[in-house]
A and B are shown apart, each in its own frame.
Chain A
Amino acid sequence: MKQFLLFVRKEFYHVFRDRKTLLLLFGMPIAQILLFGFALTNEIKNSKVVISDQARDEASQQIIGRIEASRSFDIERVAMNQAAVESAFKSGKIKLAIIFPANFNEDLMHHHNAKIQIIADASDPNTASTLTSYASAIIMDYQKDLLKTYSLAMNIHTDVRMIYNPELKGTTNFVPGVMALVLLLVCVLMTSVSIVREKETGTMEILLVSPFNPVLVVVAKAVPYFFLSLINLTVIIILSVTIMEMPLNGSVVLLYFESSLLILTALSLGLLISNNTDSQQTAMLISLMAMLLPTMIFTGFMFPVENMPKPLQIISNVVPSKWYYIIVKSIMIKGLGLRAIWKETVILGGMALVLLLISFKTFKTRLQ
């Protein structure tokens, strides 16, 4: 045990003395979160909008006037009927449609209750939700002004419809995705490189000749990266909750537990890669290729897996980050507990276990 701790301390020396790697280690998640966050939540200007004013009365014209005045919207045209709106969406030219039913003014004045329908193209979910909330805000403003003039509550009910992607996946999608990506990258890359480095410099031979248990060499190497990843995870969570306004509805303990499973999977993968490579460059390349692409493509935070052809959907099942992604979304956004995600947890845990076993089996305690 004492030897083990000695080894772990040595690993920490390696990590902390390698400034560049350390910077990469902690800089990457922050940069990614901010990059993804701000790239996706930028203010939207001049989005093409179609307005279908079937009422053509005073109230509808007033609201249209306000929408026109907003810099967020660029009114493409005022269409008359539903079919025109639909064809505009299909052509992909417009992001939003606002539809005033006939008798809008009358409903508002006499029944104190009128409806406006807002339809958004949610295939770009962030834009869609931002645009609908802008439009709703303008309408609410108008409603408030009406209240001042008439001192009577007049409700304008906005009926928001998201088409193409009704669940609005994507708004909070990227945070769990980035979490998976960063944890995988850091752990796989760092462990594989640090083990291969010992092979390259020849210190691995010295270690294997020593009475120190070779399996503990590997375990000791994983320890610092495990802790660093937990720190990384904490930074990502804090950033995404404070700056990105990502919800954190579920149990934090559960989130860390599930993340530990992913980290374990990643460490095993890193070990597996290092068992089969002899140079740091190769290890780095394989780690990047094996991690970055499948994680980006199959996790589901960039491209929805449901929309992929069947064979790709099947392949996506072997990507650990896919399951982790589902788990994190369930915990953070939906606030679900272990009971709801036990299946994904078992799959992820199983992956970790299998990879760990294979990597220990292939770890060569003797050199050729």
Chain B
Amino acid sequence: MSDEVVIKTEKLTKKFGDFVAANELTFEVHRGEIFGFLGANGAGKTTAMRMLCGLSIPSSGSAKIAGFDVYKQRDQIKKNIGYMSQKFSLYEDLTVLENISFFGGIYGLPDKRVREQARTLINELGLGKEADKLVGSLPLGWKQKLAFSVAIFHGPKIVFLDEPTGGVDPVTRRQFWDMIYDAASTGITVFVTTHYMDEAEYCNRISMMVDGVMKALDTPANLKKQYKAQSMDEVFFELARGAKRKAD
């Protein structure tokens, strides 16, 4: 982790009519950091994340992603971020190799680099035999790992993971987090939303969203100390208790 700031927001707000989905979010994320974004369903996590990815225009406030402005420099932002959504999002009717080449290709990587990097990646994931199999035939855990690898294939500065481990068994989740650590160690900033409190412990810092507002932002250890809690679970309940919005 370095002191270099890669995400910087200032009172970032998103309204849908009268409904304030995300209210004056102000925070910074550093290079190589694993930044956990927690909150109950409907707390505004996904909305906030979409603004940061350039998928949704903020109603007010400012944000710089990898040094680029979310209003004016969306194209630059897109080149510098990776994204993996809560839905498994590779093409099931394409093979492992075809998926990698396709996503590498649309980020404009040269063919040669795509080929070489794909070979390395497939070996690392241990998918040597499956390279020419359709992704749809792989077990879910492998698909998730592959989706993550594809999301950082083009070497982004930041990767956004929207509940990446939903529906995955604990062993695979653990392996998935190993991959996240590896990515962070190479200097990729990881911005991750999750429901799992044990995963929250893996993050360098955590922010907690309640009713569209960022209620807490600190390291897991400090948060536990502050709320005199044994685990992140307790911290979460303590903070989320006051939530008025119902989960959707």
Contacts and interface: CB of A to CB of B under 8 A. Distances in A.
Interface stretch (A84-92, A209-217, A245-253): A209-217
Which of the listed residues B16, B79, B105 has the most CB atoms from chain A within 10 Å of its own CB? B105
Interface residues of B, number: 34
B158 to A, nearest CB: 11
A26 interface: no
A268 B119 CA distance: 39
Contacts, number: 79
Contact of B55 (A2, A6, A367): A367
Nearest to B94: A13
Contact of B54 (A10, A14, A206, A209): A209
A201 interface: yes
B93 A205 contact: no
Given A13-B98, A211-B75, A201 B55 contact: no
Interface in A165-216: 201-203, 205-212
Contacts of B83: 205-206, 209
Contacts of B84: 206
A203 B102 CA distance: 12
A18 to B, nearest CB: 7
Contacts of B53: 209
Contacts of A212: 106-107
A284 to B, nearest CB: 18
B78 interface: yes
A23 to B, nearest CB: 16
Interface in B1-36: 16
A142 interface: no
Contact of B85 (A2, A202, A366): A202
B142 interface: no
A234 interface: no
Interface string A1-36: 011001100100110011000000000000000000
Contacts of A7: 102, 106
A368 interface: yes
Interface of A: 2-3, 6-7, 10, 13-14, 17-18, 201-203, 205-212, 366-368
Interface of B: 16, 50, 53-57, 75, 78-79, 81, 83-94, 98, 101-103, 105-108, 134, 151, 160
12 contacts: A3-B105, A6-B106, A13-B93, A205-B83, A206-B83, A206-B84, A206-B89, A209-B81, A210-B107, A211-B79, A212-B107, A367-B50
